[in-house]
Structure 1
């Protein structure tokens, strides 16, 4: 039963961090002189993550063992 309480505390902390991070991000994006830089870093991170996933899929396909064509 205590494990569930710990999970709820961690969940509340994650929620609070996510809400705070959103407001900080929104402030820097909308109300600061760094908005263009924030947009550039956001797009760079999104493209980097997309290409990393694409590369991981390619690597997995490249290193996967070959299927046995003969029926069992």
Structure 2
């Protein structure tokens, strides 16, 4: 068994153990309401945290240059290269 298979097996066993512990707490202890509240909070906080990160990224990233401006820059560079080539040909 290689390292990846060992890690995969460990993850699988830990996940199954987590499912069993979660189910046991949810159905057979007095902590079920707290567990549901924590689960709901973590799920909502995770989704809203991701949305906040996306919003922050959109708010702080400068907008890209318009295509027309990029095309003009490319044309100018091509003209410079052509001018240099003509100078080299004359020499």
Instruction: Say whether the fold is shared (TM-score over 0.5).
Output: yes
For 1:58, the equivalent position in structure 2 comes to 55
Q: Distance in 2 between matches of 1:70 and 1:15?
A: 49
1:34-53 to 2 correspondences below 5 Å = 34-53=31-50
Please report the RMSD computed on the Cα atoms of aligned residues, expressed in angstroms.
1.2
Aligned residue pairs total: 69
Higher RCO by CA contacts (8 Å cutoff, separation 6 or greater):
1
**Which structure has the greater CA radius of gyration?**
2
- Structure 1: any 5+ residue segments left out of the alignment? none
For 2:81, the equivalent position in structure 1 comes to none
- Structure 2: any 5+ residue segments left out of the alignment? 72-91
Greater than 6 Å deviation, 4+ residue runs? none
